[in-house]
A and B are shown apart, each in its own frame.
Chain A
Amino acid sequence: MPGGGDTLSDQLGFIFEVAACSGCMACVVACQDQNDLPGDGPSFRQVTKLEQDGPPPVLAFLSLSCQHCGDAPCLMACPTGAIFRHHPGEVVDVNRDLCVGCRSCALACPFGAVHFLADGKMAKCNFCHQYMAHGLQPACVRICPTGALRLGPLEDYSQDKAAQASRSILQAAAHQATGFKE
């Protein structure tokens, strides 16, 4: 449902291969550089190391940025209409001129993907939208030396591949046994 987030039509997404990521952090640096973010400040992309001493030992990396959710809670929470979607591509972006820095999006986002810069206004991954307008890929995708990060329409990402990626993440998570029961 348009506006309701039930369709993947035209929706672009990052496609991440857990097994291919070496944790080199090039995507983080490329993101900071592309968006003129301070080296010691936030990056719109974060890499998380997953490790387990074993046996068997596990080491994996997860590179995450804004998920550009189909039904983006940040967009619903924004009181000014500063958060919007680009069409086509359904990219969730922010008009910083309209942002008042109220942090409603930070409360709404389940991924911690919104960031606030020194001026108090929100900034986030926008798939390097200005590059895409010229047929280029986002900086993090272009720099990735192993091809672990890609960008494409989610409709092209088959159920099988999605299930495979999910299994990889869940297998890594399974080794992080905690004893907590949901």
Chain B
Amino acid sequence: MKGALSVANLILGNGGAAAHAVMGLRAAGYSGSLDMVSGEDGAGFNPMLLPYFLKRAINHEACFPFGPDFYERHGVTRHFGSPASALDAQARTVTLADCRTLCYEQCLVATGARALVPPLPGLADNPRMFTFRDQHDGLRLTRALGWARSAVVLGGSLVGVKLAEVLAGRGLEVTLVDLAPQLLPGAAHPLMAEYIRGLFEQRGVAVRLGHELKAVGEREGGPRLDFQGSPSLEADICCLCIGVRPNLDFLNPTQVPLATGVLVDETQRSRAPGLFAAGDAAEGLNAQTGRHQWFGLWGKACYQGRVAGWNMAGVSRAYPGAYAGTWPEFITPLLGRVFSSLGDPNRQGEGVRTILCRDQQGDPKAVLVLENQVLVGLNLLDQVNDLGLLRGALIRRLPWPEPRNPQNEVVLDRLLAELGGLPASGFLKSRQVLRAGTPVDFPI
């Protein structure tokens, strides 16, 4: 194409997937040119760190884990400050917003995602409405915390609950609102979600569930949020955490099959020639279900990017590695506890059995969901050091022991002891982790 710049390997995006693709290409021995396109003009940002920045656990520079010298270290030519505006998958060209055109041999779409802002009256243009996704959001919200005394957080999924916790910790009067009838919908079993709701209320955070936002109005001193069939809420600021949308507006869906993200196989290849996708822009295969699923998690984005880099370099590798985890999972400190979710803790249907584990006080410690005696979903509070065992059982789809208690209510320690008998970690059957000073009980 006349006037177009020809490049061998082009990476669209500048986040975790993009950086790990670069490192994967170089690790695989690719020494040719690498070109990267990004709308931002700076180092790659990790949105997962925003709550920690807002909490003042880290400074703003720490939100850029690869550092400003990443590109020089890895021989990357930057085309920054102008995002991709169109991609012709047949002609293998990318047009940037500043009208430059790049012809590629192979291209990785790792453009990440942006905060979802629904088209509701008064929402998008309200000056006191804050999204919580990119580096600018973090700085803007930090400035607002200098004067705001109250906040409504819209969205009770992982980002929303983390933000509500941080805002409450910084002294704001916080109301957490979600359309769903529970917090952490999809990630938490209703019983665990109810317990977490109680933790929030103990911290003074009001939780409003089943609230559908209708419009955002103006009032003196802040926004007024109007809900369908529920009383309005007023606060100094409103934080929108209802989800993200992949940055894929530049793709033509008739050329590149899309769902939530670009549909890719285990090698991160799309169905378009020479076109790969990774991270929030991609929709990979869920190892549990065999169906495409959008994950939206930092660690998985990094793995996907690395696999894409390897394959772009000609090293054939597939994504579903045992440790990478091609299924939904996350872990986070929350309200003084550590909450983790693996697989599908809300699985329902024939052959599905849910085991609730409580501690001595009667509070839930774990929810384990079995389908045909195989662990398919899990919620855990604390017990971090046992997570590897449980994750291993889920990954390997190992049969679970029959419960000895007909009420299906057993303590987690006993379940873990039973789990330790699985052949994958067979030597752990009578697992007794000894501590210093523990007398060794010799059986013979």
> Which residues of A are in contact with B by a Cβ distance under 8 Å?
1-4, 23, 25, 28-29, 32, 39-40, 42-43, 46-54, 57, 59, 62, 71, 73, 76-77, 79-81, 98, 100-104, 106-112, 115-116, 120, 169, 172-174, 176, 178, 180-182
Contact = CB atoms under 8 A, between A and B. Distances in A.
B310 A4 contact: yes
Contacts of A81: 65-66
Tier of interface size on chain B: 35 or more
Interface of B: 20, 23-24, 27-28, 46, 48-49, 52, 57-58, 62, 65-66, 298-299, 302-303, 306, 310, 315, 322-324, 329-333, 338, 340, 384-389, 391-392, 396, 398-399, 401, 421-424, 426-438, 440-444
A79 B49 contact: yes
A77 B299 contact: yes
Given A43-B436, A49-B432, A79-B298, 7 more contacts: A1-B310, A3-B27, A32-B436, A76-B302, A80-B46, A100-B49, A169-B427
B441 to A, nearest CB: 8
Nearest to A49: B432
Contact of A110 (B332, B391, B401): B391
A57 B443 contact: yes
A172 to B, nearest CB: 6
Given A3-B24, A57-B444, A180-B421, A76 B299 contact: yes
A146 to B, nearest CB: 15
Contact of A79 (B46, B430, B436): B46
Contacts of A108: 299, 323
Contact of A98 (B62, B303, B399, B440): B62
Contacts of A120: 333
Contacts, number: 166
A58 to B, nearest CB: 9
Contacts of A80: 46, 49, 58, 62, 65
Contact of A23 (B23, B423, B430, B440): B440
A60 to B, nearest CB: 8
A62 B430 CA distance: 12
B208 to A, nearest CB: 27
A28 B434 contact: yes
A109 B435 contact: no
Contact of B58 (A59, A100, A104): A100
Contacts of B49: 79-80, 100
Given A53-B443, A107-B340, A180 B399 contact: yes
B385 A106 contact: yes
B436 A25 contact: yes
A102 B332 contact: yes
A178 B66 contact: no
Contacts of B23: 3
A49 B27 contact: no
A112 B166 CA distance: 28
B187 to A, nearest CB: 13
